[in-house]
Amino acid sequence: MDSKVFKVFANRALELGPPPSDQGPWQHWRLTLDDDGIAWLLIDRREASANTLSAEVLTELDAVLATIEGNPPKGLVIRSAKTSGFIAGADVTMFRGMTDAAAVAAAIGRAHAVIDRLEALRFPTVAVIHGFCLGGGLELALACKTRIAIDGAKFGFPEVMLGLHPGLGGTARFTRRVNPLQAMTLMLTGKTIDARRAKALGLVDAVTQERHVHAAVRDAVSGSFRPVRPGPMVTLMNAAPVRRFLAGRMRAETARAARPEHYPAPYALIDLWETHGGDRRAMLYAEQASFARLMVTPTAQNLIRVFFLRDELKKLAGGKSEITHVHVIGAGAMGGDIAAWCAGQGLTVTLADMKPEPVAAAIGRAGALFGKILRKRIDARDALDRFIPDMKGEGVRAADLVIEAVPENLELKRKVYAAIESRMKAGAILATNTSSIPLEELRTALSRPERLVGLHFFNPVSRMMLVEVVGHDGADAAVLDAARAFAGRIERLPVPVKSAPGFLVNRALTPYLLEAMMMLDEKVDMGTIDAAAERFGMPMGPIELADQVGLDICLAVADELRAKLGADVLPATPDWLRQKVAAGELGKKTGKGFYVWKNGKAEKPELKTQPTPDMADRLILPMANVCVACLRQGIVGSADIVDGAMIFGTGFAPFRGGPLHYARARGVDEVVATLERLAARHGARFAPDAGWKALGG
């Protein structure tokens, strides 16, 4: 933020309240009065890069408001002193381990009192918002009489991602200010909107540039500025008959994405609005109790765990990446999409392939992707300009990082390395996107094997956050550090894994997919198999996932892992699967695999039979068993990293907190006993790994 903005807060200003220390009378707030008689209250969370609302911050705000009430200014402006944004929401660390709903309700009640006190001030109050204004920060802003957004600000209620809904009055204030259907949609999805969209909805009263903030504030305080008022449609849509109708539609739409037993928060929010949306005071009170009930659910506590797992994986990226040019070899579904994602993140990308058709297809997909992830047309155009077709492969000479993404064939990959290594510039990194081949086998064709690293992305690249950063016993530590930093640079979560067959994610995922094939051999309907996994909480069943990944890739990985790990660990791949691959029925990318795919979606018939209780165990517990084995063998450093990798790399039911966390919650002894029963019934592939004992009961 421009430092000129804060000249008004110089020492010459009249301080309100007790004499200031270096930070002022409060730890997290700074209060000054300008020459126009307007009080400026800056939130500056101590020793934090971003502002969040903790109990301490809110207690201090209450004291600040008491001071202001004793000496009322012409108006009060609340804004952030941090360049990162306004307020990023509540301090999530407060939520961990909550088990007493009554204690949560009491704490929320105290926080409500502070926000209500702000709303009740009898003089103009203005929230000036830059950067992110999320969750509790947006709820605080909604309690002000006017909201002025700096162009580029972002707004949203992400609480649903934590298994919660807004808890500081946001459910009532938002639906009374903005069209309730739009307000509820934002709260139910957790999506963010920009300042211009917020202005169009009526969430903010004005959008301005930083240099015009003081003029806009003076207008708001003097009354010459006309704030947005809720229109008659807001009142109409909050009427009981309309609420009942819309709530039914919301539940049906929500059910397509989340089961109520897995994710109760969106349903609780809909119930809250349907029941109390016509009475603001009742809704504010009911919100506290509903929030408290959700907070102590396993879903919320596990999703809060996932929030912190994500933060831990982000930290693994380490320092700043020096990579600016990426050369990708192989323009298939993975290589082309890796190239597109890198270009969308501001890097120069050259894409090479033996044929022009896959390169052209990759550029077409990239254009569609940029249209979705980049809001401005000029940004999408610039991203396409950075995405350079390179049929001659000349980009390898200038690239800081070369990513090989050719088919999963050992000899083919070795030939590629032999052809390009001498052309790479000094200091460049060679990375492979192999999904299963150990790097010790790939490096034999290299004169500088220490510069080889694995960067294993997941499909679809634009949505899957994880990148496995694969090391081997001869890898240069600086290369591995640079690879992790690169993953962070392109907004992906790096997980360090040791070179081993399948690494972590594919090694754990392959038994999940192959067990589904075994069930098909037993004449179980494929829709029933997928339903068993989805009812457990997986984003899609193993049959649909196999189609999504590509049956040819699944087959190659399964063969590779079975050859390395043995027949006792993985069953033989069915002959009929090989026949499907030979016939070109590869799944989504060819329009037909197990399912027929149209417009990017699988056509699924109605469910013929319901899953039996043991089907989910047959699919899920082998994954957990492999995760334990990888932890025991040192392929991954900790149980938390295992859980984070499986959640962000496979979509493993986030509300369960990861496969190892799920096993602990269910009871390790009970999981081991179930695996033993499955082994007795179905074979040695279910035999419990020796590492379960170390995981604990």
Catalytic residue set? 456
Pairing of strands 601-603, 132-134: unpaired
Measure the CA–CA gap between 113 and 62, rounded to whole angstroms. Answer: 9
494-528 in b/e form (b: 16+ CB < 10 A) is bbbbbbbbbbbbbbbbbbbbbbbbbbbeeebbbbb
Can you give 204-249 as a three-state secondary structure string?
A: CCEEECHHHHHHHHHHHHHCCCCCCCCCHHHHHHCCHHHHHHHHHH
Q: Give the burial class of 6: count Cβ atoms within 10 A of its Cβ; 0-12 exposed, 13-18 middle, 19 or more buried.
A: middle
- Name the 3-class secondary structure at 542: helix
As a residue count, the chain comes to: 697
How many other β-carbons are positioned within 10 Å of the β-carbon of residue 697?
11
CA separation (Å) from 133 to 26, 129, 295, 311, 632?
A: 22, 7, 22, 19, 43
Which amino acid would we find at residue 441? E
Unique residue bearing structure tokens 């892992």? 561
Closest residue by Cα to residue 61 from 141, 122, 135, 115: 115
Three-state SS sequence of 249-280: HHHHHHHCCCCCCCCCHHHHHHHHHHHHCCCH
CA distances from 8 to 12, 31, 65, 212 (A): 9, 11, 20, 14
Strands 401-404 and 452-456: unpaired
Q: List the end-to-end C-alpha distance of the chain, in Å, as a whole number.
A: 51
User: Cβ of 427: how many Cβ atoms within 10 Å?
Assistant: 11
Distances (CA, A) of 632 to 66, 627, 658: 57, 9, 17
Cα separation, 595 vs 79, whole angstroms: 53
Closest CA to 75 of 29, 41, 43, 38: 38
- DSSP label at residue 53: B
The tokens describing 319, both together, are 């320092």
Given a contact cutoff of 8 angstroms between Cβ atoms, the answer to whether 437 and 408 are in contact is yes
Neighbours of 611 (CB within 10 A): 22
